[in-house]
A and B are shown apart, each in its own frame.
Chain A
Amino acid sequence: MAHILYIEDEKEIGQWVTEDLTGRGHEVVWLTSGNELETYINHIDLAILDIMLPGLDGFSIGKRIKKANQETPIVMLSARSAVEDKIEGLSFADDYVTKPFHPDELAARVDALLRRFQKKEDTIEIGHLQIDTKSLVITNKHTAEEILLTGKQYQLFQYFIRHLNQILTKEQLYEGVWGERFMEGDKTLMVHIRYLREKIEANPAKPTIIETIRGIGYRVKK
């Protein structure tokens, strides 16, 4: 459960999204303008902002939120789809969803951001693994034993968990974990993924936790 601030001036849409997100277990504060922003700005886990609002527009509100707390993820939710708007939005926001949208998509993006910013205090289960997303303690449910990872394996797995359900390219993974630019043909990542699989997969020859997406990269799906 997360505290979500949602600013939307369209009553129908506002109500719908609020109900949907509440239904998914989040606590949503829905405002129709940025007037009362200061009351909530320090007590939220995530913000969903429309752009065209009476008074302060969504861009300004978003920038204020980021200024107050850099660690608050922001999703822009707007009917404006021009490239310029997206570029401006993504210059500070973490995601940009255009209307009309499917509530599942919005919920998935909200979840992904909460995970990425470690705002979720929960344990997730992937296959035979139980993972505490904050401490990243990995337990094998079958044996009830904790799986210990080495430094790089730990970082790699953490990167996957933060980007759960997302397909990560070789470049993203390598650069995210090693912090260096990936060179085509470098086998380091493959080797580390193999070690990681040997530790966490029930059957490393047929991996189910870390999925290989041929031609693109890897994915850990919940």
Chain B
Amino acid sequence: MKRFLKSLLAKYILIILIAIFLIQAAYFIIIFVFFNLVDDSDSPEDGENTFTEIEEKWHQEANAVVSEDDVNQLFEEWREVYSNASMFWVNGNGILTVQSNLQENLPVEWDATYTADFLKRNYNNDPFTVVAFAGENEEDGFIVFQLEREAMKPQGQRLFDQYSWAIVMLTIGVVFLFIFISLWFFRGIRKRLVHLQEAMEIRDTDGLPILIEEKKQDEIGDLEKSFNQMVQELRASREREQEEEQLRKELIANLSHDLRTPLTKINAQAYTLQKMNLPKEAKHSLKLATTSIEEVDKLIENLMSYTLLMASKYKKELKEIDMMRFLRQYLATWYPVFEKERFEVDIDIEPFEQNMWKVDSLWFSRILDNLLQNVLRHAADGEYIAVRTESTGHHDAIVIIDKGKGMQTSTDQNGAGIGLSIVDMMVKGMDLDWDMNSTEEGTTIKIIRVKRADD
């Protein structure tokens, strides 16, 4: 129940109820203010007489008049009850003798024509007019009682007529108040939803959404709560994934470490043996053994990289690097190796139009390592390696050329396959392309960067 009271639904119901209540309340107020005299809605000012009663009473009292004093007294009595009423007496000679609170200019002398006109004008009209003969004799003239019909309306009716604009305004006001409260309510909801949406779009450095503040315990609050729960689950899952990744990396690293340690020992023994005075055949075997050790070492390295690449767990950080600078520096480390193997090294690197390549330098080194390693292992017969740059309208490329017997015909390609698979995955992983053309005269490998619009 407590939860329900805090919900948006409850608030909305409350607004509706308030609106209904306000309308009802307005009616009650109107009724109370304007029609509280509903019982005496027919009563004139004195609280008991109607027009008919006034007429009867006027006739009756006028009948009792004998002298001018009587008239004055009568007027005085009536004035106490009907303060707004105008009264006058026209005597038997047609002279306006006594008057009280006259509203219009009346002549002093009344002839038959004017009298008839007066009667015609005021019969059944506003003001309400009663004409009665004074006294019992018609010679005593007549006395007239006039009262604004307005004064005879019930008070509520009069107030209603006077303040009807206020009622309209009040009704409009109530409607607007309801619209305003509704809008205010929805604006609050909208604001929170927009805020929520914005918060949901913010990403942390790890690419996951951030936790959002849970403000209220309503439906949107529930949504915020669920969202936070989801973020936490995502984080937990990411952490688990990272742990697994770490474990996998550790496993591979340890495995390769454990494989390499005995290799190093074999290497040490081979080296020690090589220093001894051995027969020629033994030395040759030993050299073969040492070469095999190197092969196995490379294989372990490639296998490790391959496993990580396949699982997309090989660290990659693409950065803009100056390819000319990188290539020269890189080749400086490989040059002595080829020199030692008596290769002719032909390096011709010319700057590209766009020297900044967006690559991971470690990945790029790895690609070149594998390619050059292959040249060293499988194209040693050619004793030639060239590294060049090539620029066409379509692409820039780094070209590696050897004069070996070619990939297809090479008899011992141990490890070349996996090495090239790694090259393929890494090249494509950096949005580059590569191309290999192998014949019996040699192999040409190109690492291609297709020119882009923003170059």
Contacts and interface: CB of A to CB of B under 8 A. Distances in A.
Interface of A: 10, 12-13, 16-17, 20, 52, 78-85, 98-103, 165-172, 184, 213-217
A79 B261 contact: yes
A216 B261 contact: no
Nearest to A14: B268
Contact of A216 (B265, B269, B335): B335
A167 B336 contact: yes
A100, A102, A170, A172 interface centre (most CB from chain B within 10 Å): A100
Contacts of A217: 328, 332
Contacts of A165: 336
Q: Which 8 A-B pairs have the closest CB atoms?
A: A215-B347, A79-B260, A167-B332, A16-B268, A99-B264, A169-B328, A100-B267, A100-B264
Contacts of B314: 83
B304 A215 contact: no
A16 B272 CA distance: 8
Contact of A213 (B263, B335, B348, B362): B335
B11 interface: no
Contact of A16 (B271, B328, B387): B271
A62 to B, nearest CB: 17
A168 B267 CA distance: 31
B392 interface: no
5 contacts: A81-B304, A102-B267, A169-B329, A170-B328, A215-B331
Contact of A100 (B263, B304, B329, B387): B263
A215 B253 contact: no
- What is the predominant secondary structure among interface residues of chain B facing chain A? helix
Contact of A82 (B249, B264, B351): B249
A206 to B, nearest CB: 19
A167 B261 contact: no
A171 B328 contact: yes
Nearest to B355: A184
Interface in B266-322: 266-269, 271-272, 293-294, 297, 301, 304, 314-315
A13 B267 CA distance: 9
B267 A166 contact: no
A192 B295 CA distance: 44
Interface in B417-444: none
Given A171-B329, A216-B331, 19 more contacts: A12-B269, A16-B272, A17-B268, A80-B257, A82-B252, A83-B314, A83-B362, A84-B315, A85-B253, A99-B264, A100-B263, A100-B267, A100-B294, A166-B332, A169-B332, A214-B348, A215-B346, A215-B347, A216-B332
A184 B348 contact: no
A82 B252 CA distance: 9
A184 B351 contact: yes
A100 B325 contact: no
Contacts of B329: 169, 171-172
B349 interface: yes
A81 B260 contact: yes
Q: How large is the interface on B (under 10, 10 to 19, 20 to 34, 35 or more residues)?
A: 35 or more
Contacts of B333: 167
B256 interface: yes
B93 to A, nearest CB: 132
Interface string B325-343: 1001101110110000000
A101 B17 CA distance: 86
Interface in B222-252: 249, 252
A213 B253 contact: no
Nearest to A85: B253
A86 B233 CA distance: 34
B261, B335, B347, B355 interface centre (most CB from chain A within 10 Å): B261
A80 B301 CA distance: 10
A84 B249 contact: yes
A169 B261 CA distance: 35
A94 to B, nearest CB: 15
Nearest to A87: B362
B328 A81 contact: no
Contact of B268 (A13, A79, A172, A214): A13
Nearest to A215: B347
B324 interface: yes
A103 B264 CA distance: 11
B261 A168 contact: no
Given A16-B271, A81-B256, A10 B261 contact: yes
A42 to B, nearest CB: 30
A214 B347 contact: yes
A10 B269 CA distance: 14
A155 to B, nearest CB: 20
A98, A169, A170, A214 interface centre (most CB from chain B within 10 Å): A169
Contact of A167 (B266, B267, B335, B351): B335
A170 B333 CA distance: 14
A201 to B, nearest CB: 21
Given A85-B253, A171-B325, A217-B328, A103 B271 contact: yes
A20 B264 CA distance: 14
B78 to A, nearest CB: 115
Contacts of B297: 100
Nearest to B347: A215
A204 to B, nearest CB: 23
Contacts of A80: 253, 256-257
Contacts of B256: 79-82
Contacts of B324: 184
A13 B249 contact: no
A150 to B, nearest CB: 27
Contacts of B253: 80, 82, 85
A39 B349 CA distance: 51
Contacts of A99: 260-261, 263-264
Contacts of A84: 249, 315
B272 A79 contact: no
Nearest to A104: B271
Contact of A12 (B268, B304, B315, B336): B268
